[in-house]
A = this chain, B = another copy of it.
Amino acid sequence: MSPSAVHSGLLRLSTRGHGDIVDLTEGVRSVLRTSQVALGVAHVFVTGSTAAVTTMEYEPGGVADLQALLERLIPAKAEYLHNARNHDTNAHAHLRAAVLGPSLSVPVVDGRLILGTWQQVVLADFDDRPRERQVTVQIVG
């Protein structure tokens, strides 16, 4: 136990959109190293309503499976009121993002993220065009 503090880092990423999934793990680790926190929590948050963060094994098969799953459950081409009312085309992206969620909290012990060997922190960008994304990493410890 030690008095705690908050350290903040910002990751800027270019994505291709369309369900692009990007590995954030090294970016989060970089913010953690700068913070010099040994015991705490790394909070990861993506700004925007058409992207989400979660963890997964970041390998091409799993990435393609997650993209296919979300297309099957929440198809891009369907009738959505968001699109009809706002002359928009990315209602599916909003829905996928709301279901997966924008935030994730990973424990820090001995200065390391407590992730599994095959568990990476990822950003999923569901928008229907390339985007510049900002992911905020708050280290509490």
Contact = CB atoms under 8 A, between A and B. Distances in A.
A13 interface: no
A125 B33 CA distance: 31
Contacts of A94: 56-57, 62, 65-66
A115 B64 CA distance: 29
Nearest to A80: B65
State the number of copies, please. 3
Interface string A61-100: 1101110110001100000111111100001001101111
Given A48-B116, A140-B4, A101 B98 contact: no
Contact of A6 (B91, B118, B141): B141
A8 interface: yes
Given A3-B4, A56-B97, A41 B106 contact: no
Contact of A99 (B5, B100, B140): B100
A98 B66 CA distance: 8
21 contacts: A2-B6, A6-B41, A40-B140, A41-B138, A47-B114, A48-B116, A49-B56, A57-B82, A59-B86, A61-B82, A61-B83, A61-B84, A62-B81, A65-B91, A65-B95, A66-B95, A68-B81, A100-B101, A103-B104, A103-B105, A140-B140
